[in-house]
Structures are given as C-alpha cells and as structure tokens.
Amino acid sequence: MATYNHLPVYKASYDLLVELFRFTKDFSWEYKYTLGESIKKETVEMIINIYRANNSYSKEKVEKIKLQNTGGILKRGEKHYLTTYR
C-alpha cells in the first residue's frame, strides 16, 4: 500500500489547499474570516479523511469514514437512505 503522501489524490488535495490559502488572502476581511476559513477547514478535513482511508486496513473502517463525511446519507442504486452508524 502506498503511503498517503504518495497518492495522487492526496497531492492534488494538498495543492488545492495551498492555492486556497493564496486565493483567500486577497478576500476582504469580512469574507476572509468566515467563508475563507470555512473553505480551508473543509479542505483540511478532506485531506485528513484521505489519510484515514489510506491507513484503514478493513473495508468497515473506510465505510465508517464515508458515513461520517456524508452525515449518514448514502446512495445505493437509485435510492437514498439515511443510516446511523455507531
């Protein structure tokens, strides 16, 4: 298994985060600390989830991460359903 920092999706996500930091520094102060911080926070969480999924050895752990990220809403075929995972 590749380490997380060698995965193309990790590299692209990290590059996105760097660009977001450059882009949001030019926001007006009103948006820099609301919208800008929210965008950066979500991107960091995405990178952390890539790391977690790569280090998960069982499919159950990957499914748990997926459920956490989607708020329990999954798509199965054409139907959406709400699940609770504990």
Residue 54, sorted as left (phi over 0), alpha (psi -120 to 50) or beta, turns out to be alpha
Average pLDDT over residues 30-55: 89
Residue with more model confidence, 65 or 26: 26
Look at residue 41 and tell me whether its pLDDT is greater than 90.
yes
Average pLDDT over residues 9-30: 91
Quick one: pLDDT at residue 44? Answer: 93
When pLDDT is cut at 50, 70 and 90, the band that residue 55 belongs to is confident
- What mean pLDDT is reported for the chain? 76
